[in-house]
Amino acid sequence: MGNLPIELLRKVVKYDVSSGKLVWAERDASCYPNAQSTVFAEGRAKHFNKVYAGQEVIVKRNNTNARYVYLRFLGQVASISADRLLWVAISGELTEHPLYYKNGDASDTSLENIILTHTLAKQVLLNPDIGIKPYSVDGKTKYQVVIHNSYVPRIKKAVFDTKAKAIEWRCNYLKQHDAYWSISATKAYKANKFKHENETLRDS
Measured distance CA(57)–CA(125) in Å, rounded: 27
Query: Exposed, middle or buried by CB within 10 Å (0-12, 13-18, 19+), for 127?
Result: exposed
CA neighbor of 87 nearest in space, from 55, 67, 68, 115: 115
Provide the 3-class DSSP secondary structure of residue 70: strand
CA triple 126-131-134, angle to 5 deg: 120
Whether residue 100 sits in one domain with residue 139: no
Q: Which of 76, 106, 136 is a domain's end point? A: 106
Is the CB of residue 81 less than 8 Å from the CB of residue 70?
Answer: no
Domain-located, residue 144: yes
Looking at residue 21, its pLDDT comes to 96
Please identify, among 44, 73, 106, the residue that sits at the C-terminal boundary of a domain: 106
Residue 127 placed within a domain:
yes
Q: Are 57 and 69 in contact (CB under 8 A)?
A: yes
- Alpha-carbon gap, residue 24 to 6, rounded angstroms: 15
Number of compact structural domains in the chain? 2
Distance CA 100, CA 118 (A): 9
pLDDT along the chain (204 residues), means of 10: 79 95 95 89 94 95 86 80 95 92 94 91 84 89 82 74 91 83 92 79 58
Spatial CB neighbours of 63, under 8 Å, sequence gap ≥ 6: none
13 and 102 share one domain: yes
Residues 11 and 91 in one domain: yes
- Other Cβ atoms less than 10 A from the Cβ of 21: the count is 17
Q: What is the pLDDT of residue 200?
A: 61
Contact predicate 120/48, CB 8 Å: no
Range of the domain at 75: 6-106
Would 46 be classed as within a structural domain?
yes
Residues 142 and 87 in one domain: no
On whether both 166 and 75 belong to a single domain, the answer is: no
One domain, residues 89 and 46: yes
Domain boundary among 51, 75, 106: 106
